[in-house]
């Protein structure tokens, strides 16, 4: 499965960034990803209930921000490249300065979770929907990446 995922990523990286002349924001809007997501939308952002916000930028890219408490961010990235892998999977490349992460999401209705996540140096944080020993100082190794539900646009 791991080799298959690497092949899919290699193929994706060789494809144009979006279909036609779509911007990253347009593709994410069509996929329903723009807006606020959380493990539990009825609860405020917290360490165990990260709120994820995907917001369009004027340049056509999208900013992805994790909130671990109301008004407090744990990290923020700009999505600069996106491709549809299938009808329920989306690849994106995000960066925040010198750091780049390549991510594949599985999206089912109003829920998603990270299927894979790897940095520019090849360190894998999520593989086959599960955290690796490199995620969260190894504390989450083997656990499924959380499913987030869309709270609002």
pLDDT above 70: residue 12: no
Q: Measured between alpha carbons, how far is 74 from 133 in angstroms, rounded to an integer?
A: 20
Determine the Cα angle at 32 with ends 26 and 38, to 5°: 125
Mark out the alpha helices in the chain (DSSP H runs).
2-13, 24-31
Q: Which of 121, 120, 75, 83 is nearest to 104 (CA)?
A: 83
8 Å CB contact between 31 and 86: no
Q: Express each pLDDT in 79-95 by its tens digit.
A: 999 999 999 999 999 99
Could you tell me the pLDDT band of residue 8, with boundaries at 50, 70 and 90?
very low
Q: Express each pLDDT in 34-61 by its tens digit.
A: 999 999 999 999 999 999 999 999 999 9
pLDDT above 80: residue 7: no
Beta strands 148-152; 62-69: pairing state: unpaired
Domain-wise residue ranges, the chain: 2-152
**Given this model, what pLDDT does residue 139 score?**
86
């Amino acid at each position: 499965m791991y080799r298959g995922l690497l092949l899919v990523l290699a193929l994706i990286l060789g494809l144009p960034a979006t279909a036609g002349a779509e911007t990253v924001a347009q593709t994410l809007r069509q996929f329903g990803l723009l807006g606020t997501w959380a493990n539990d939308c009825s609860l405020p952002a917290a360490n165990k209930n990260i709120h994820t916000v995907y917001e369009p930028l004027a340049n056509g890219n999208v900013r992805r921000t994790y909130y671990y408490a109301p008004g407090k961010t744990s990290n923020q990235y700009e999505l600069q490249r996106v491709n549809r892998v299938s009808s329920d999977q989306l690849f994106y490349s995000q960066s925040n300065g010198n750091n780049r992460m390549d991510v594949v999401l599985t999206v089912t209705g109003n829920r998603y979770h990270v299927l894979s996540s790897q940095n520019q140096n090849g360190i894998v944080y999520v593989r086959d929907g599960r955290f690796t020993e490199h995620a969260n100082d190894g504390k989450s190794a083997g656990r499924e990446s959380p499913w987030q539900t869309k709270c609002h646009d």
